[in-house]
Amino acid sequence: MRAAADTTRRGLRYLVELADINRALAQLPLKYWEVVLVHGLLGVPQQEAAQLLHVSQQAVSKRYRQGLEELTYLVNGGT
């Protein structure tokens, strides 16, 4: 495992970015986090995500957009 570790400048930058995203995801309110996870990261279509989360498709769309805006803010230094 250690031999496969990417300790180049690019590899380390990638790890820092992942850590930033992970930290930001942990700070999202649950209603945004679950939509970003199900629709954005897992790729479940909005209509199916709406059924899984027991909300409307419009709510999924709105929460996804707001969740991404919040993630962008947090990753760029917001608290």
Is residue 57 within 8 A of residue 65, CB to CB? The reply is no
If one counts every other C-beta atom within 10 angstroms of the C-beta of residue 25, the result is 18
What is the mean pLDDT, run by run of 10 residues, along the chain of 79 residues? Answer: 69 85 93 96 97 98 97 86
Q: Number of folded domains in the chain?
A: 1
CATH number at residue 70: 1.10.10.10
Is residue 22 within 8 A of residue 36, CB to CB? The reply is no
Cα separation, 38 vs 44, in Å, equals: 6
Could you list the residue range(s) of the whole structural domain that residue 41 is in?
Answer: 2-75
Can you give the pLDDT at residue 50? Answer: 98
